[in-house]
Chain A
Amino acid sequence: MSNTSINKRRVAIAVARKDLTIEWNSRILVNQVAPFAAIVMVLFAFALDNDGILQRVAPGLVWLATLFSMLVVIQRSFTVESADGALDALRVAGVDMGAIFVGKSIALMVQLFVLELMLVATAVVLYGVEMTLAGFCEAIVTLVVATIGLGSVGTLYGGLAAGARGRETLLPLLLLPVVAPVLIGATRATEAAFGSGGTTVSEGWPWIGLLLVFAVLFCAVGTVAFGPLVDE
């Protein structure tokens, strides 16, 4: 059983499909995480208590809610692996860790993307955001590029923080500083898309560039670093 690149691609797809099937079967994202994210958005409104401010900071709130929910989704992604020793079994089967990384990242990206769409819709409803068509397109692009970065870096650090012995609590400490560039870039780009505070749509594209750099960097690095970080 040699690990040719054709095999690795098939493994990655199998892993992604497996993770998404698990989500489909258990509906954790839909039943638990999405409501949590929505509650967070509502709580923001309670805390900030000012319609004008809410509309102005809506982009930031969307991405904050995303980051906090992402922690839960990542931990879930790795809990399913350790519940019955499945990741261990994959390791002992000699399955390529880089392929596992790619597969899990893709599944995480899909779940995050769905979550973010919901959050953007919530912002439109709750915070009175109005978007032009150009803004909407920019918002979608921002979502896609930011999510690619978040998915790969989340899987990487999620793998490190997974498992027993009080490691799960490390995930926020390790991950949140690293995703700061995504928060900054995505918020600015979303501001441009929403037109908050008078920003024009064209101002968002440089920030999407930053998000792209982040995404490419961590996809590449994650594929290589995942194995050494997760292995015993």
Chain B
Amino acid sequence: MAGQSGTGTSATRRLGILVILMLAALALCGLWFSAEDVVQGSTVRIMYIHVPSIWTAYIAFGLTGLCSAVYLSGKNRSLAWDRVAGASGEIGVLFVAVSLVTGSMWGRLTWGTYWVWDARLTSTAFLFITYVGYLAVRQLGGTHRQRARRSSVLALLAILEIPLVHFSVTLWRSLHQEASVANPNAKVELDGLMLFSLFLGLIAFTLLFVWLVLHRQRSMMLEDAFSDRGLDLAITARRNEAGA
């Protein structure tokens, strides 16, 4: 369980070291060893951050949906499910933001524009906004259970509408036949080492995500326990009001 002085345990420390090593390896492979792209030159190296980021974001939101579904499915489920869902949502928003920013930078360097209205990028922006809304609802207050129920239902609604939005946006852009202008990352030729670096990135980012979620959900648990302890004190103070 969590140590006295923080949210780390020996397991997370080992995981953390592994993550650092893998990220270092990724940096080496991505920035040094792997080749440049024929067309894009060195700018293709953004791919090693951009693609793993969005991949991790999808995992994050999938986890949020799963934990929310589990929380709602039982009569008296542990609040831990809701905490993991919330932590995962927060980290997911972080990774989507990274993905959007790196994607925008990549577009700027390759095609000269910060933004193109292609299906994937637009859907990603919607994903970002939807989960920002999810986080906003989590801040609405109330008891832990009220927050959990509200957020869980909202997370499942998000899982439902994201594909719908993506589908609509794809249909929308297909009208304009701009596939050639589309993503910088759509037409990159990947040789062996580049592919390996990409997979390395996926694994490294996923492990980073796991490490972040473990810590965040533990800090959420401590926050909840703190406010529960505060409740105990408040109850005593309240009873002492009587007759005052």
Direct contact of A and B (CB under 8 A): yes
Residue in B132, B156, B165 whose CB lies within 8 Å of A180: B165
List B82-134 residues whose CB lies under 8 Å from chain A: 126, 129-130, 132-133
**Closest B residue to A173 using CB positions:** B133
Residue in B126, B150, B156 whose CB lies within 8 Å of A177: B126
Assembled-state Cα–Cα distance A185/B165 (Å): 11
B140 proximal to A (CB < 8 A): yes
Interface of A is mostly: helix
A218-232 to B contact mask, C-beta < 8 Å, 1/0: 000100010011001
B138-165 to A contact mask, C-beta < 8 Å, 1/0: 0011100010011001101100110011
Assembled-state Cα–Cα distance A167/B160 (Å): 23
A174 proximal to B (CB < 8 A): yes
Interface size on A, residues (CB 8 A): 23
Question: How distant is A145 from chain B, measured CB to nearest CB, in Å?
Answer: 14
A192-213 to B contact mask, C-beta < 8 Å, 1/0: 0000000000000000001001
Interfacial chain B residues near A228, Cβ < 8 Å: 72, 149-150, 153
Supposing A177-B130, A177-B133, A184-B172 touch, asked if A221 and B165 sit within 8 A by C-beta, the answer is no
Assembled-state Cα–Cα distance A167/B156 (Å): 20
Interfacial chain A residues near B132, Cβ < 8 Å: 173
Assembled-state Cα–Cα distance A185/B169 (Å): 10
Q: Is the CB–CB distance between B140 and A174 below 8 Å?
A: no
Question: How distant is B182 from chain A, measured CB to nearest CB, in Å?
Answer: 18
Interfacial chain B residues near A170, Cβ < 8 Å: 133, 136-137, 140
**Closest B residue to A176 using CB positions:** B129
Q: Is the CB–CB distance between A221 and B133 below 8 Å?
A: no
Q: Is the CB–CB distance between A181 and B133 below 8 Å?
A: no
Assembled-state Cα–Cα distance A210/B164 (Å): 9
A137-152 to B contact mask, C-beta < 8 Å, 1/0: 0000000000000000
Assembled-state Cα–Cα distance A211/B171 (Å): 13
Interfacial chain B residues near A229, Cβ < 8 Å: 150, 153-154
B168 proximal to A (CB < 8 A): yes
Closest 4 A/B residue pairs (Cβ): A181-B168, A184-B168, A174-B133, A177-B129
Beyond A174-B137, A181-B168, A221-B160, 17 additional contacts (C-beta under 8 Å) are: A160-B137, A160-B154, A165-B140, A174-B133, A181-B164, A181-B165, A184-B169, A188-B175, A210-B171, A217-B160, A221-B157, A225-B157, A228-B150, A229-B150, A229-B153, A229-B154, A232-B142
